[in-house]
Amino acid sequence: MANTVIQANKETIEKMKGHYKNVLTDKLPPGAVFVAKPSGCTITAYKSGKVLFQGSNGEGESSQWGKVEPPKVKSPSKGTTTLPENFADWSVIGSDEVGTGDFFGPITVVSAYVKREHLPLMKELGVKDSKNLSDSQIIKIARDLIAAIPYSLLILHNPKYNAMQAKGMTQGKMKALLHNQAILNLLEKMAPELPEGILIDQFVEKNTYYKHISAQKKIQRDRVYFSTKGESIHLAVAAASIIARYAFLKEMDKLSEKAGVEIPKGAGKHVDVAAAKIIKRKGIEELKSMTKWHFANSEKAIKLAGK
Ligand code: MG
């Protein structure tokens, strides 16, 4: 059933509300002025002036009120490169990172090469968006991947991360530097073979990315594309993401052992509690050496630990 949307001014919406007064309902979604249910149609009028007609008689009802708004054509967001047709079937280096939102643990960046011939294998191994995979699935798939495809892994450990951050470097810049380096390392590993494309899971506008790495000796620009949700665009990004997550999990295991506390992911309250425990057992410096210290969690943990 097609929805019909019209744009109406306040007066028209008031008029409509009067017209439908016998079929108004009490339940309003956020931002709605009224919801009416004449036969064969649900009408929702919003404060923004949008009026939505749903149901088999939606068009009939809407036609007496005004002009139908043409559907909006989504324009690609600024700085997003349009990818070539059939890009998903190309031989591609995908690049992705993990750990940027976790208080504990490093940032891991992986570039991985999946050539055309390997695409069926990727599907067979279960490579897909890592957000839909459990940790144990990640570990299993990553072990197969590591044996099957060329990749390059970089780990930015917490002491170095904290030093860079203290000098005023943003996470965005750190990530850009790491991606550029991981891609260069992989290209060197693969030489003389070249990928048809390089896809970076986009975390910043293209121009900003290149500005971040402008002082680097070597900058990979050739064949580089950016896209958000890269994991769903090419399996190489999904593979990179799985290996990066695997590496991150292994680092977290090492940190748990070092801390004598099971270290949690994320940056929520449970993280503050674990961090406070580590302060009590090992001291603030030890905690600092395993966390992204500028996160608000550090202060909360210090408070919780009563230091
Ligand atoms: Mg990403």
Per-block mean pLDDT, blocks of 10 residues, the chain (307 long): 82 92 91 92 92 88 77 51 88 97 98 97 92 93 97 98 97 98 98 97 96 97 95 96 98 96 95 96 96 97 91
Residue pair 289/160 in contact by the 8 Å Cβ criterion? no
Nearest to 35 by CA among 45, 48, 49: 45
Tell me the CA–centroid distance for residue 200 and ligand 1, in Å.
Answer: 8
Amino acid 1: pLDDT: 55
Tell me the CA–centroid distance for residue 177 and ligand 1, in Å.
Answer: 14
What burial class does residue 224 get, using C-beta atoms within 10 Å of its C-beta: 0-12 exposed, 13-18 middle, 19+ buried?
buried
Rounded Cα gap, residues 111 and 96, in angstroms: 7
Q: Residue 177 corresponds to which tokens in the numbers above?
A: 């530097």
Tell me the CA–centroid distance for residue 133 and ligand 1, in Å.
Answer: 15
Amino acid 93: pLDDT: 98
Amino acid 79: pLDDT: 44
Q: Which residues neighbour 255 within 8 Å (Cβ) at sequence distance 6 or greater? A: 104, 105, 263, 290
Rounded Cα gap, residues 275 and 302, in angstroms: 8
Tell me the CA–centroid distance for residue 146 and ligand 1, in Å.
Answer: 19
Tell me the CA–centroid distance for residue 170 and ligand 1, in Å.
Answer: 16
Tell me the CA–centroid distance for residue 258 and ligand 1, in Å.
Answer: 28
Tell me the CA–centroid distance for residue 268 and ligand 1, in Å.
Answer: 20
Q: Which residues pair with 98 in a beta bridge?
A: 108
For residues 144-181, one letter each, b for 16 or more C-beta atoms within 10 angstroms of the residue's C-beta and e for the rest, the string is bbbebbbbbbbbbebeebbebbeeeeebbbbbbbbbbb
Residue pair 235/127 in contact by the 8 Å Cβ criterion? yes
Amino acid 92: pLDDT: 98
Amino acid 72: pLDDT: 58
